Structure 1
Amino acid sequence: MRKKTGWLLLPLLAVACAKPTGFDYLGVRNFKVLQFGLKESTVGADVEYYNPNKYPVTMKGAAVDVYVNNNFFGKTMLDTAIQIPKKDTFLLPVVLKVNMNNTAIGLLKTLASGSDSVFIKLNGSAKIGRGGLFINWPIRYEGMQKIQF
């Protein structure tokens, strides 16, 4: 009887341990300069994603390189656990330390020229999972993004 119960629960266990799917990138909101310096500045934004999974997941950490107009802009790291609701949008707060070299100056010139769009590329990974099982999930995005202060 005990063996039969185990075999009956096996499909339920397989569904519960299903690999989560990746998040859909929706855009950047609330872009702001937190601290401006001649050598280094701090930029903050909220990155909006959609969780297509039928269950909530937890993100334990992430490391993402950010490129603007195909030039390295900065690296952001998330080291706190965030609960992500099922089938819903969510915002990830991002803080970037930006080295004010030619890349940052080029971005400021682009924005000062009246253009409100830049080419953004994200490349990194996040640790997502549920029930104590976590996997490294790649983060990849390329596209034009409107920047509004």
Structure 2
Amino acid sequence: MRKLSLWMLLPLLAVSCAKPTGFNYLGVRNFKVMKFGLKESTVGADAEFYNPNKFPVTMKSGSVDVYVNNNFFGKTTIDSSIQVPKKDTFLLPVVLKVDMSASAMQLIQTLATGSDSVKIKLDGSAKIGRSGIFINYPIRYEGMQKIKF
């Protein structure tokens, strides 16, 4: 009887230990310049993602390099834990320190010409998991993004 009950619990344990899948990038909202300087500026935004998992997960940390129009724009890190709901969209606040070099000036010139779309490329990884088991997942995205101030 005891062996039978253990075998019946095995499928339940296998489902509860399912490996989480990565998030789907949906876009950027609430883009704002928090601090403007000649050498370095600080930009804030809310990155929108969708969690396709059938269970909630926790994002523990992450690091992403941001490229705009194929030029390195800056790096952002996430060092706090964020609870992500199951099968739902969520906003991830992002703060990016931007070196006001030629690439940042090119972005300002592009936006000044009236174009509100730029090519965004994200390259990095994040630790996501649940029940104390975390796995590094790659963050990869490339596409056109409308930016509104």
Q: With structure 1 as the length reference, what TM-score do the two structures score?
A: 0.98
What residue is the counterpart of 1:78 in the other structure? 78
* Counterpart mapping for 1:1-149 below 5 A: 1-149=1-149
- Percent of pairs with identical residues: 77
Distance (Å, rounded) in 2 between the aligned partners of 1:8 and 1:132 = 24
Q: Which runs of 5+ in 1 are unaligned?
A: none
Alpha carbon RMSD of aligned pairs, Å? 0.7
TM-score (norm 2): 0.98
Deviation at 1:7, TM superposition (A): 1.8
How many residue pairs match? The answer is: 149
The offset of 1:4, in angstroms, is: 2.3
State the 4+ residue runs in structure 1 displaced beyond 6 angstroms: none
Q: Distance in 1 between matches of 2:6 and 2:101?
A: 61
> Where do 5+ consecutive residues of structure 2 fail to align?
none
How far apart, in 2, do the equivalents of 1:146 and 1:107 lie? 13
Letter in structure 1 aligned against 2:52: P
Distance 2:136 2:43 in 1: 26
